[in-house]
Copies of this chain bind each other. A is one copy, B any other.
């Protein structure tokens, strides 16, 4: 059910995702919903957003494990985003962003905290790996925030334009910056 809710939120956003659609998609019975989600739609949405953030952190970890530089981590992570967008035929975006843009965070402190935590976790994880790959701490933070914003933005503009080019452009700019801050570091081995 959480997976079904996440998928529907990615396709249609928060308000258009109804309990009934989640039931239909997951094949769960109405009774089981109220048993597993006594907190109603808020709980279902919170768990779906948490699942999305958890998956993204796992993907970041997997990509980082295979990357030998911050540039490589960025290029592969952006490419996965682009490939997912193309595979969905420009039909789905982020599993967290709709909670923010539809103001659900204004209505519920729990959803607000979930949105904040989801983006914090992804930023922290990216920054952690950038540091491990040789980027200085402050620069790693800047890079991580820019990567997340670039990807969130490409998920909107690429979907609207039905074109992969925003992903390519975001990758070029982010990887170029990462190369610069990595070079700066390696030029000062005495640090």
Contact = CB atoms under 8 A, between A and B. Distances in A.
Interface of A: 11-16, 91, 93-94, 96-98, 100-103, 105-106, 115-116, 118-120, 123, 141-146, 148-154, 156-162, 165-166, 168-170, 172-174, 176-177, 180
Given A12-B102, A12-B103, A150-B173, 9 more contacts: A13-B101, A15-B15, A15-B16, A100-B156, A120-B161, A149-B157, A150-B170, A151-B153, A172-B177
Contacts of A94: 101, 156
A169 B150 CA distance: 11
| Identical copies in the complex | 2
12 contacts: A12-B102, A13-B13, A13-B102, A15-B15, A16-B102, A16-B103, A98-B102, A145-B165, A146-B150, A149-B169, A150-B150, A173-B177
Contacts of A118: 160
Contacts of A170: 145-146, 149-150
Contacts of A106: 11, 91
Given A152-B152, A156-B97, A103 B172 contact: no
A152 B145 contact: no
Contacts of A174: 146, 173
